Amino acid sequence: MRSLGLPLGPAALSLYQLFRMPLSLIRSSDSIWIHQRGAFADGLARVERDDRGDWTIVELDAVDDAARARLLARVAREAGRHGVVRLHVACAEDAATLTLLGSAGFQPYARETLFLLKGGSLSTATPASAARAVLRPAQPSDALRIAQLMSATTPPAVSRMELIDAREWDRAAAGTWALRASITPLLRLAEQSTFVLDGAAGEIDAWVHLGVARERGEEHPHALRISLLPGIDAAPLIQAGLAEIGDRAARVGTAENGVLAVVRSYESGLGTALTSQGFTPIGDLRLAVRDARARVTAPGMLPAIG
């Protein structure tokens, strides 16, 4: 079975879970499609719906590429039927999968590398009290400055594809939202928080978003996301973020879980800083989106008149 190749997979499905949805680990916003050949099911697609109404494909498995193509076409058709504007997907750097997505109208727009700090390393992190001397909790009034920071550090082509509005930046300042990442729909977090590094003239030099896993085990990592201006030393920010995660994880009983960090290709130097702090790269992924508005407004042939 060929999957999307994510190093962190969705929770395994069973027939019991499929027929007893209220008792399963599947979110109520998930949708599932089965590909059937004769009397046998030989493919499965799972979609996560977010608060904005966008869909994200988190699972696309089948016995062959033809079945995967039919599943993908069905998901895209259902998205259009429900008025979904954007359909997201993340996959490994796999030529066959990228070709399949391209044939269905998906456009890759960003590369990500996932870094993992193995479980048990949080016990050696900097004390949380020392971390708070580096960062301060974000406030609602920081929303505009966080947006300005991201505008300065994100290529315009990526910003156009992600279409982040003022509501998202307000949620970012409140700690309840972070930039889309390849593994975002697969994380199960008990709490999320945002911290900032103040710069000169009232600006923000860095934004740190962290999430604490609510379930124990290696398959449920904590999350760390850092965005910073060029020239800012990332090491103190990573140490502060790990200290805060360690302090909170100890309270919910998940201190032995690992920590997952996402670095995009244009965030130069951040991967090296994470490696120096004990993180290990575990996968290179591509993000792609199928935007209905782009398809509707794209140039096309018109009937000749006159």
DSSP per position, 153-221: HS-HHHHHHH---HHHHHHHHHTS-----TTGGG--EEEEEEEEEE-GGG-EEEEEEEEEESS-STTS-
Helix/strand/coil for 112: strand
136 lies in some domain: yes
Q: What is the Rg, in whole angstroms, of the alpha carbon atoms belonging to the chain?
A: 21
146 lies in some domain: yes
pLDDT in tens, 109-129: 999 999 999 987 776 655 666
Do residues 174 and 222 both lie within one domain? yes
Domain that holds residue 56: 15-105
CA distances, 265 to each of 50, 239, 284 (Å): 25, 22, 10
Do residues 231 and 89 both lie within one domain? no
Greater model confidence, 38 or 189: 189
Q: Scanning the structure block, which residue is given the tokens 């974000």?
A: 138
Do residues 148 and 237 both lie within one domain? yes
Do residues 97 and 213 both lie within one domain? no
User: What was the pLDDT predicted at 129?
Assistant: 64
pLDDT in tens, 64-78: 888 899 999 999 999
Backbone angles phi, psi at 57, to 5 degrees: -80, 120
Tokens found for residue 220: 């449920």
Do residues 240 and 92 both lie within one domain? no
Question: How many independent structural domains does the chain possess?
Answer: 2
Model pTM score: 0.84
pLDDT in tens, 125-173: 556 666 667 899 999 999 999 999 999 999 999 998 888 888 889 988 8
